[in-house]
Copies of this chain bind each other. A is one copy, B any other.
Amino acid sequence: MKLYGEDNPAPNPRRVRIFLAEKGLTLEQERVPLRERAHKASAFLEKNTLGQVPVLELDDGSYLSESVSICRYLEGLHPTPPLFGVSPKEQAVIDMWIRRIELQLMMPIAHIWRHTHPLTASLLTQFTDFGESNRAHVERAYRWLDTELADREFIAGDAYSMADIIAQTTADFGRFIGVSVPEDCAAVQAWLTRVTDRPSATA
């Protein structure tokens, strides 16, 4: 197996890096220099027709993209420690929380990034008013998450899971673009400290 584009600072490659660190796995890696648009070159488009990183090359020569799907595949090969749950209920609850964090928190943060940030202005047509409107969605999502986390340690329950990796990379990316967890969301702040204290956080 070989992992392409794991070296990039965006949230999705980092999801895979943290997952690998939590599993204690190392994979052969190949850099994909995004600044040189290597992810849009034909050699890379053969690996992922969407031109996105990361991509995992499997031992049979086929390619897998989408960071969560890559981690799900690696979980199948290396089930311990489980990060996607074991029982059908655990697996479904973790899946639900991955989706909730992506839809409620990551999406509005991505809209702010794409539609208001100077670094993306030259890459797409920005709809600034729409982008700005997402700040209220992010705040509402953090306040909702704060009530959810009031009586548990981790996003999907009492055990650390892939849902924490999704939320952690989202929160850190949000902070990078100036959208932080509200000061008074004590449960979210405590959770963020908890996951940031794990050795995998430096991945």
Interface residues of A (CB under 8 A from B): 49-50, 58, 60, 62, 64-66, 68-70, 72-73, 75-77, 87-89, 91-93, 95-96, 99-100, 104, 107, 115, 125, 127, 129-130, 133, 144, 147-148
Given A49-B148, A91-B72, A144-B49: A96 touches B64 (CB 8 Å cut-off)? yes
Q: How many Å from the CB of A32 to the closest CB on chain B?
A: 18
Starting from the known contacts A49-B144, A73-B88, 7 additional A-B residue pairs (CB-CB under 8 Å) come to A64-B96, A72-B91, A73-B91, A76-B88, A76-B89, A127-B127, A127-B133
Contact present for B91 and A144 (CB under 8 Å)? no
With A and B bound together, what is the CA distance between A75 and B95 in angstroms? 13
Q: Summarize A's interface: helix, strand, loop or mixed.
A: helix
Contact present for A95 and B69 (CB under 8 Å)? yes
Q: Which residues of B contact A64 (CB under 8 A)?
A: 89, 92-93, 96
With A and B bound together, what is the CA distance between A127 and B125 in angstroms? 14
| Contact for A99 among B60, B69, B75, B100, CB less than 8 A | B69
Q: Which residues of B contact A87 (CB under 8 A)?
A: 76
